[in-house]
Structure 1
Amino acid sequence: MDYSRDPNPVRHLLRRAARHVTTGIKAAQARGWNVALVLTPAAHRWSVEEAGGEAELDAWRDLTGPPVRHTYKLPSQSDVLPDPDALLVAPPPR
């Protein structure tokens, strides 16, 4: 998807835990946001090993458009995610 031509803002959803991800994505989309999902390495591992596995990651990618990021990129690497207008961390740090 070419986000540069889309009038809707982009929200990066940073998940520290992988529960209720689909609910969070759909809630943001219902409010007019494009969503790019970023999982912490631990949330990614839980998703793959304990939850729905790679099929769940594929479903999230199909729902959001951009790839689901779960590893850090180097500053010299291009970003596959669109620039965010907002960043939501869920659940919030304690």
Structure 2
Amino acid sequence: MLIRTPVDLGAVIRDRRKRLKLDQSTLAKRIGVSRQWVIEVEHGHPRAELALVLRALDALGIPLDASGETPINRSSPKAGVDINAIVTKAKKSKA
């Protein structure tokens, strides 16, 4: 699945943070932001500064590849992060 919305990206960030057993304060310190910023990104706040989002992805070891050289196959997710499951779980928890 492609990350298409800030909510999708927030779900991925929250899932990885939890899998790394980091609390929001610890992640915030690694990025150089406030805990409130982490909370807003994890909830899909659409106005988060891109440079800080990229720092968050780097701090969590989430690669961002925009080469466009690899064809997208939506039916078979790559090994590692199952974005479909993360987004589905996040949507269910909000209901």
TM-score range, shorter chain: 0.3 to 0.5
TM-score by length of 2: 0.35
**By percentage of residues, which structure has more helix?**
2
**By percentage of residues, which structure has more strand?**
1
TM-score by length of 1: 0.35
